[in-house]
């Protein structure tokens, strides 16, 4: 009887270990999905919008267009033709929703206004701006952007001896843009865009506006 009691007590103690050793008794938990925070979130949302919420918004664009004053188009003295104005911009910010981004926008526009020394040198009117901007996607590929900030106007003199800059005035800037993503993924897009920006300068009592069409490259 004593041996039977000891054997029964040992069987009770060993029962959980024996059960755990049986195949199929307790399946191990599945491993966590690879890829970190965004691995479990969908790439797109209802309506086809990319799920970019919480991501960095970073990009730049280049374009060509024209510059105007409040009295009319800006021409080029001494030029055989009227050169186009260039445009370049850079933005950095974040997606606060799948359809809205807030960002810092830096944009520069310039146009040659005079040819000197038989074409060996040029004078370029340059408008630089720094703005707070918001970009909103109307559809998964079509967006609108608006910005407000500060503007700086100057002349750049370029010749064989180098480049010199002469400041003209500081003022306020307003910007509007529209774009369409011709290539669009959650992390990257290429868009065609049109931009219009105006700087208002009290010191020279004038407004300098720039319109351009260009291409942009964006990372999220």
The 10s digit of each residue's pLDDT in 39-67 is: 456 688 888 999 999 999 999 999 999 99
**Confidence band of 116 (pLDDT split at 50, 70, 90):** confident
Residue scoring higher pLDDT (208 or 38): 208
- What separation in angstroms does the CA of 196 have from each of 13, 86, 155, 169, 172? 81, 13, 21, 20, 14
Report if residue 115 sits inside a domain: yes
Report if residue 81 sits inside a domain: yes
Report if residue 36 sits inside a domain: no
**Confidence band of 159 (pLDDT split at 50, 70, 90):** confident
Can you tell me the distance from the alpha carbon of 192 to that of 163, in angstroms, rounded to the nearest whole number?
32
Task: Assess whether pLDDT exceeds 50 at residue 14.
Answer: no
The 10s digit of each residue's pLDDT in 177-219 is: 999 999 999 999 999 999 999 999 999 999 999 999 999 999 9
Report if residue 155 sits inside a domain: yes
How many structural domains does the chain have?
1
What is the DSSP code string of 22-86? STTSSPPPPPPPTTGGGGGS-SB-TTS-B--TT-EEEEEEEEEEEEEETTEE---BT-SS-PPEE
Task: Assess whether pLDDT exceeds 60 at residue 1.
Answer: no
**Confidence band of 29 (pLDDT split at 50, 70, 90):** low
What CATH code is carried by the domain that includes residue 183? 2.40.160.20
Between 51-65, 116-130, 144-158, the lowest mean confidence (pLDDT) is in: 116-130
Residue scoring higher pLDDT (1 or 140): 140
Report if residue 172 sits inside a domain: yes
**Confidence band of 220 (pLDDT split at 50, 70, 90):** very high
Report if residue 6 sits inside a domain: no
C-alpha dihedral (133, 136, 55, 47), degrees to nearest 10: 180
Residue 120 is predicted with a pLDDT of 76
**Mean of the per-residue pLDDT values for the chain?**
86
- Its domain, for residue 152, covers 50-219
- The answer to whether 172 touches 206, Cβ cutoff 8 Å, is no
Can you tell me the distance from the alpha carbon of 176 to that of 189, in angstroms, rounded to the nearest whole number?
20
Report if residue 143 sits inside a domain: yes
Q: Cα–Cα–Cα angle for 165, 170, 176, nearest 5°?
A: 105
Report if residue 25 sits inside a domain: no
């Amino acid at each position: 009887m004593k041996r039977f009691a000891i054997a029964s007590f040992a069987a009770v103690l060993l029962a959980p270990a024996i059960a755990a050793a049986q195949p199929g008794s307790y399946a191990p938990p599945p491993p966590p999905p690879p890829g970190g925070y965004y691995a479990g979130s969908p790439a797109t949302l209802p309506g086809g919008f990319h799920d970019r919420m919480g991501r960095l918004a970073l990009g730049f664009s280049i374009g060509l267009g024209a510059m105007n004053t409040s009295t009319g188009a800006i021409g080029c003295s001494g030029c055989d033709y009227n050169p186009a104005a260039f445009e370049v911009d850079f933005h950095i910010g974040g997606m606060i929703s799948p359809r809205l981004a807030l960002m810092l926008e830096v944009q520069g526009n310039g146009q040659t206004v005079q040819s000197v020394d038989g074409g060996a040198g040029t004078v370029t009117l340059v408008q630089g701006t720094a703005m707070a901007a918001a970009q909103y996607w109307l559809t998964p590929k079509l967006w609108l952007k608006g910005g407000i900030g500060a503007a700086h106007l100057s002349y750049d003199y370029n010749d064989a001896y180098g480049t010199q800059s002469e400041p003209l005035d500081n003022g306020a800037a307003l910007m509007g843009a529209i774009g369409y993503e011709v290539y669009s993924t959650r992390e990257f897009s290429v868009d065609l865009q049109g931009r219009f920006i105006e700087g208002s300068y009290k010191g020279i009592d004038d407004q300098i506006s720039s319109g351009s069409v260009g291409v942009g490259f964006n990372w999220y």
